[in-house]
Amino acid sequence: MPEGPSILILKELVQQFKHKTVAEATCNNKSLDASLLVDKRIIDFKSWGKHFLICFPKFTVRIHMMMFGTYRINTHTAKPPRLGLRFTDDTELNFYACQLQLITEPLDKAYDWQADIMSDHWSSRKAIKKMKADPDLLVCDALMDQHIFSGVGNIIKNEALFNARIHPESLVSALPPKKLTEMINEAVKYSFQFLEQKQAGTLKKNWKAYHKKECPRNHVPIIRKDTGKSHRTSFYCEVCQKLYK
């Protein structure tokens, strides 16, 4: 479910609930007092990277799908939802296996919109500035850092690095400026391709490195390795993805 583009799809699908009033709310753990939502009206849905935000007049409910989160619209599963919302017209919206958090401060204070890679407010310049603050930063960790590239997950990381021909263990500080810009541009570009391909049901078949056996450019084996401080798996071609160090 996660990665930024999937949250944009969710946001699109729930537009039907905008301006509706919650008639009944349940939460199957202690992370949120669901009674706070009853009789409250949803004024908007927003997102920040992988965060999905349900905005009420005086607070926002933050939903993070983590690895396995799911949702059901106007239906439900056998298990009680982490967050279940029923509206006054008997429609329903249910979230499972997700992390909930109540945000009471203004959203502009809680979020740096310029860090959201798929937002209109995205700023490459600011991302570069953040990356330059750490001279030992590897590109694989930089792309996975939600404060720098909010919305990027392991799939986007691997595909963007493949497209930019950059080895995941390259040092950000060793990349020529044009190459760093190229990496960022590929991350943004692939994020929007991810969105289109996911909607078309063609996401997996378009992967060039992620979970692939061989490089589509030269047919040498794709390397699979635990990389960086984040210890997330990278998939890359040793031949066409250059290691900058």
Query: Quick one: which of 154, 170, 191, 193 contacts DNA (CB under 7 A)?
Result: 154
Using the rule CB under 7 A, is 73 a contact of DNA?
Answer: no
For residue 168, state whether it binds DNA (rule: CB under 7 A).
Answer: no
Q: Quick check: 153 binds DNA (CB under 7 A)? A: yes
Nearest to 190 by CA among 179, 206, 176: 206
Q: Which of 15, 39, 68, 243 binds DNA (CB under 7 A)?
A: 68
Does the footprint of DNA cover residue 1 (CB under 7 A)?
yes
Cβ nearer to DNA, comparing 65 with 215? 65
Query: Is residue 110 a contact point for DNA (CB under 7 A)?
Result: no
Beta carbon nearer to DNA, 146 or 206: 146
Q: Among 155, 183, 184, 209, which residue sits at the site for DNA (rule: CB under 7 A)?
A: 155
Burial 121-149 (b: 16+ CB within 10 A, else e): ebeeeebeebbeeeeebbbbbbbbbbebb
Burial of 105 (C-beta count, 10 Å sphere; 0-12/13-18/19+):
exposed
Q: Per CB under 7 A, which region of 110-118, 120-128, 147-155, 173-181 contacts DNA?
A: 147-155
Q: Considering the rule CB under 7 A, would residue 77 count as an interface residue with DNA?
A: yes
Interface positions, 19-48, toward DNA (CB under 7 A): 29
Residues 186-205 that bind DNA (CB under 7 A): none
The residue range among 13-21, 166-174, 184-192, 224-232 that interacts with DNA, by the rule CB under 7 A, is: 224-232
**Does 96 participate in binding DNA (rule CB under 7 A)?**
yes
- Residue 79 interacts with DNA (CB under 7 A): yes or no: yes
| Size of interface with DNA, in residues (CB under 7 A) | 26
Residue nearer to DNA on the CB measure, 42 or 169:
169
How many CA within 13 A on the CB side of residue 229? 11
Judged by CB, which is closer to DNA: 18, or 79? Answer: 79
In angstroms, what is the minimal distance from the CB of 113 to DNA?
16
Binding stretches for DNA (CB under 7 A): 1-3, 6, 29, 49-50, 64, 66-68, 70, 77, 79, 96-97, 144, 146, 153-155, 210, 229, 231-233
